[in-house]
Amino acid sequence: MLFCIAYALIGIPVTVFFLAAIGIKLGNANRWVEKKVKTAVSKLARNPGVIRIATLLITLFIGFGTFFFVPAYIFTLVEKWNYLDAIYYVFITLSTIGFGDMVTTVNELEGVEVFYDYLYKVAVIIWIMTGLTFLSM
């Protein structure tokens, strides 16, 4: 129990620092996309309300595509889940509910070199961290 407490005292601040750093990078990327979208949409519409709504919708579309729909598709390929299960896993994981009823590959992937298995697991961890940051923005 003492180890758990000590680990949490160190791990939680480090995780918060890491998420804040990712948030800064995602915020910069979001502002860049927003600027490009505003430029493109302002050529089509002059109403500031229409520009704001179009920018928001396109930015959300890109963000949810990047953190929800594309990873879910990848999980259907790698984990052999159906798409609904993959979307469920993505939502439950990124909303921090995390029931634990579905987890990504616990064992080594069949027919894949060990390096790619570890690469996949690291990519999932990075996706979770950046996805959590995206949803918190």
Distance CA 48, CA 25 (A): 27
Task: Report pLDDT digits (tens) over 35-57.
Answer: 888 888 778 777 878 877 887 88
DSSP SS3 for 83: helix
In sequence order, what are the residues at sequence separation of 6 or more whose Cβ sits closer than 8 angstroms to the Cβ of residue 66? 134
Average pLDDT per consecutive 10 residues, the chain (137 residues; last block may be shorter): 87 86 86 84 79 82 92 93 95 87 78 84 91 82
Distance CA 20, CA 100 (A): 26
